[in-house]
Amino acid sequence: MIYHAKSVVNATKGALVVVDMPFGTCSGNPIKSLESAIRIMQETGADALKIEGGKEIQEDVKKIVDAGIPVMSHLGLMPQSINKYGTYTVRAKEEKEAKKLIDDCLLMEELGCFSIVLEKIPAILAAEISQKVKVLIIGIGAGGEVDGQVLVIHDMMGINKDFSPKFSRRYADLYSVMTEATRNYIKDVKENSFPNQSESY
């Protein structure tokens, strides 16, 4: 994660760079979590960290925030916990899980998180949470009544052909463009028309 984040930071001007805490680096041991967080911040030059989890990791989040590191919380569907869920279906549809999600959002705000990502939850619940908390709510599959939206670049540009979640919108069809370009390249190489004389030294 440090390698990838450094590459993004080096290529970025005027944008907030938030780095995901990798799986297992924030899981109930606040001292180890803080050590990982400090290392990521020092070695990448990023602006903030994103951490998946609620009440279960509150001590980790508190330790990191208290150390002066900006934290964006990630709740709802949490991809790092997919083995626990067993599926990528919509989260917090049932009252018990919805209440826990609201409580976790309020807790993360209280702990000092500057923003919360809500992934794949009912739009009406995301709207309710947006009204209850003061920090920015960023949605990914959480409806339009939030402060900002996530759309993965591969989905936006249509690079993925087979994966198309309901909340995604394709703004281009780069899969077809790239496929055709690759076929043409292979054809030209096989026919010995690439490179031609003007493309050679």
User: What pLDDT is attached to residue 61?
Assistant: 98
Q: Which domains does the chain have, with CATH numbers?
A: 2-150 (3.20.20.60), 153-201 (no CATH)
CB-based burial, 16-46: b 16+ in 10 Å, e otherwise: eebbbbeeebbeeebeebbebbeebbeebeb
What's the CA gap between 145 and 191, in Å, rounded? 55
User: What pLDDT is attached to residue 84?
Assistant: 83
User: What pLDDT is attached to residue 155?
Assistant: 92
Active site residue 119: yes
Spell out, as residue ranges, where the chain has pLDDT lower than 50.
none
What's the CA gap between 86 and 110, in Å, rounded? 30
User: What pLDDT is attached to residue 81?
Assistant: 87
The CA angle 26-87-93, to the nearest 5 degrees, is 90
> Is 140 in contact with 117 (CB distance < 8 Å)?
yes
User: What pLDDT is attached to residue 27?
Assistant: 83
User: What pLDDT is attached to residue 33?
Assistant: 97
**Catalytic hit among 94, 119, 128, 199:** 119
DSSP state of 1: -
Residue type, 132: K
User: What pLDDT is attached to residue 162?
Assistant: 84
Name the residue with tokens 């990502």: 117
